[in-house]
Amino acid sequence: MSLRLNNTAPNFTAQTTKGTIDFHEWIGDGWAMLFSHPKDFTPVCTTELGYMARIEPEFAKRNCKIIGLSVDSVDSHLKWEKDIEETQGAAVNYPMIGDTELAIAKLYEMLPADEAGTFEGRTAATNQTVRSVFVIGPDKKIKLQLTYPMTTGRNFNEILRALDSMQLTAAHKVATPVNWQDGEDVIIVPAVSDEEAKEKYPNGWKTIKPYLRVVSQPAKI
């Protein structure tokens, strides 16, 4: 059965570059982002993992842990980390899962339709995890999922933008409009009545249509 938004993120135990983890216990009471890459020692993946190393503090500010995954071994990850730091200028301090049996990749449907299903003979073009992203909330439910082709490096700034939006929604019952950036006006969700909105936003809001009420971004909690 396919994973959908608001499904409970499947739990698992895994070997990582930071030791063995139980995924749900590792998440704790905060947010988490699980992202897969196709293969160690490949060019696009090196740039992605390096960029994530640089912006990890931004995720930490948002109480969001990050963890990577491929079906390479933990030993391979540890060796590759040296190349990442050398070429991208940042040390990888977040854990990377060594999913050599493809168990988590299959659990989270991270493999392309034509994958072989075994580790043997794997190359960058066959039997690899695609570029999947799962953002998981404190309730352990999937809040966002994205899948990119193997040839396209992801825009992790967009993941941060989406995380800001989702955390605002969780705290304030607001939605964010197209191309919204942190600090810009937001939208009061239709489920909030005008009476409730008056309590939450005593300084008022702009009503463009009855279903489109724009208000200044609330303070983050």
93-135 pLDDT, tens digit each: 999 999 999 999 999 998 877 655 555 555 545 556 789 999 9
Distance CA 109, CA 122 (A): 17
Cα separation, 129 vs 35, in Å, equals 10
Q: Which pLDDT score is estimated for 151? A: 87
160 within a domain of the structure (yes/no): no
Encoding tokens for residue 195?
């009476």
CATH, residue 181:
3.30.1020.10
Residue 90 sits in the same domain as residue 58 = yes
Domain that holds residue 197: 173-215
Q: How far apart are CA 169 and CA 175, in angstroms?
A: 6
> Residue 127's pLDDT is what?
52
The amino acid sitting at 183 is G
pLDDT at 117 (0 to 100) = 54
Q: Are residues 106 and 191 in the same domain?
A: no
Q: Are residue 197 and residue 107 in the same domain, yes or no?
A: no
Work out the average pLDDT over 144-166.
94
> 12-21, 48-57, 121-130 — which is least confidently predicted?
121-130
Assess whether 21 and 99 both reside in one domain.
yes
In this predicted structure, the answer to whether residue 77 has a pLDDT above a threshold of 80 is yes
- Domains identified in the chain, total number: 2
Residue 22 has pLDDT above 70, yes or no: yes
Please give the DSSP secondary-structure letter assigned to residue 141.
B
Residue 54 lies in a domain: yes
The percentage of the chain sitting over the pLDDT mark of 90, rounded to a whole number, equals 86
**205 and 174 Cβ atoms separated by less than 8 Å:** no
Assign residue 6 a region (left: φ > 0; alpha: ψ between -120 and 50; beta: otherwise): left
Known catalytic membership, residue 64:
no
Gap between the Cα atoms of 35 and 76, Å rounded: 17
Cα-flanking dihedrals φ and ψ of residue 127, to 5°?
55, 45
The catalytic position among 44, 45, 53, 133 is: 45
pLDDT of 72 higher than 90? yes
Question: How high is the pLDDT of residue 120?
Answer: 56
| SS3 state of residue 208 | strand
Q: Which residues contact residue 166 at a Cβ distance below 8 angstroms, ignoring those fewer than 6 apart?
A: 135, 137, 143, 144
Alpha-helical (H) ranges within the chain are 23-27, 43-61, 74-88, 103-107, 156-172, 194-200
Segment 51-80 shows an average pLDDT of 97
* Residues of the chain above pLDDT 70, percent: 92
Residue 85: which residues within 8 A CB-CB, separation 6 or more?
Answer: 50, 53, 91, 92
